[in-house]
A and B are shown apart, each in its own frame.
Chain A
Amino acid sequence: AQSVTQLDSHVSVSEGTPVLLRCNYSSSYSPSLFWYVQHPNKGLQLLLKYTSAATLVKGINGFEAEFKKSETSFHLTKPSAHMSDAAEYFCVVSFNTGGFKTIFGAGTRLFVKA
C-alpha cells in the first residue's frame, strides 16, 4: 500500500537555527515527492518537488529536500529559520498506478521562536 508519514506533528525552533521536517513514504511504485507550505488562512503553495532527477532538490525560501530511496525518506531542511517560516508543511507523494494518485501527509506545524 502507498502511504506517507510525517514523523512530527509539531516542530519548534529558534530563529536562525536549522529546520528539519521529516517525511517517510511507502510505495510499490517510483514516487514523485513534493513539499507544500500552508500559511494561516492561506492556500497551499508548492515549496519544491522531486521527480526522479537530482536527489537533492532546492526550493523556494531557502528550503531543500533530499530523496533517499534506501531510507524511503524525503526530509525538508533549511539552514536558518526565519519568523516568516512559521506555517504548516505537508509532504506529498504522487504515484502513477495507471491512474494518478496523490497522498498528503498529516502535516507538520513549524513554530519559530524569536
Chain B
Amino acid sequence: GAGVSQSPSNKVTEKGKDVELRCDPISGHTALYWYRQRLGQGLEFLIYFQGNSAPDKSGLPSDRFSAERTGESVSTLTIQRTQQEDSAVYLCASSLRGLGPGELFFGEGSRLTVL
C-alpha cells in the first residue's frame, strides 16, 4: 500500500490474554520501529528493526513483550499476559534506511485497551 498499515486499529482484551499487533511498512523501507503512546503522553521507543534483525530492543518494557519481522516486510508485536498498564496506542513507523536521520512514516496506530 501507499502508507504504513497497522492492524487491528482497535483491540479490547481481558487482563492475562495475549495480543498480536501487526505492521505492514511501506514497500522498500528497510527500517521499522515500534513505539508506545500512553494517553496524553509522548512516544516511548520499544524496538527497532533493520531488515529482519533487531539491533535495538532496549525499549521493550518487559519479557512479556516481543517482536519479530519477516525480511523487510511485516512485523508483529506480541504482548503476552496483558496487564492494564499495557493499555496504549502502539505506533509503527518505517523509514527508507535506519542508519541515518531519515524521515519516519507512521501508521495510524493500534489502540489497545486491557480491561
Q: Which residues of A contact B (CB under 8 A)?
A: 32, 34, 36, 41-46, 49, 51, 90, 92, 94, 96, 99-107
Q: Which of chain A's residues have a CB closer than 8 A to the CB of B3?
A: 43
Give complex CA distance A52, B91 in Å: 28
CB of B115 closer than 8 Å to a CB of A? no
Residue in contact with B42 in the complex, picked from A41, A99, A107, CB distance below 8 Å? A107
28 A-B pairs (CB sep. < 8 Å): A32-B101, A34-B101, A34-B103, A36-B104, A36-B106, A42-B108, A43-B4, A43-B106, A44-B91, A44-B93, A44-B106, A45-B106, A46-B104, A49-B103, A51-B101, A90-B42, A96-B100, A99-B55, A99-B56, A100-B31, A100-B48, A100-B56, A100-B99, A100-B100, A102-B33, A102-B45, A104-B43, A105-B42
Q: Which residues of B contact A (CB under 8 A)?
A: 3-4, 31, 33, 35, 41-43, 45, 48, 55-56, 91, 93, 98-101, 103-104, 106-109
Find out whether the CB atom of A104 lies under 8 angstroms from the CB atom of B42.
yes
- Contact residues of B: prevailing secondary structure: loop
Q: Which of chain B's residues have a CB closer than 8 A to the CB of A103?
A: 45
Find out whether the CB atom of A96 lies under 8 angstroms from the CB atom of B45.
no
In the assembled complex, the CB of A92 is this many whole angstroms from the nearest CB of chain B, namely: 8
Q: Which of chain A's residues have a CB closer than 8 A to the CB of B99?
A: 96, 100
Q: Quick one: closest B residue to A30, CB to CB? A: B101
Q: Which of chain B's residues have a CB closer than 8 A to the CB of A41?
A: 108
Q: Quick one: closest B residue to A50, CB to CB? A: B101
Give complex CA distance A104, B33 in Å: 13
Q: Quick one: closest A residue to B43, CB to CB? A: A104
Using A43-B108, A49-B101, A96-B99 as known contacts, list a sample of 7 further A-B pairs with CB atoms less than 8 Å apart, ordered by residue number in A.
A34-B103, A43-B3, A44-B93, A49-B103, A102-B33, A104-B42, A104-B43
Residue in contact with B41 in the complex, picked from A44, A49, A106, CB distance below 8 Å? A106
Q: Which of chain A's residues have a CB closer than 8 A to the CB of B108?
A: 41-43
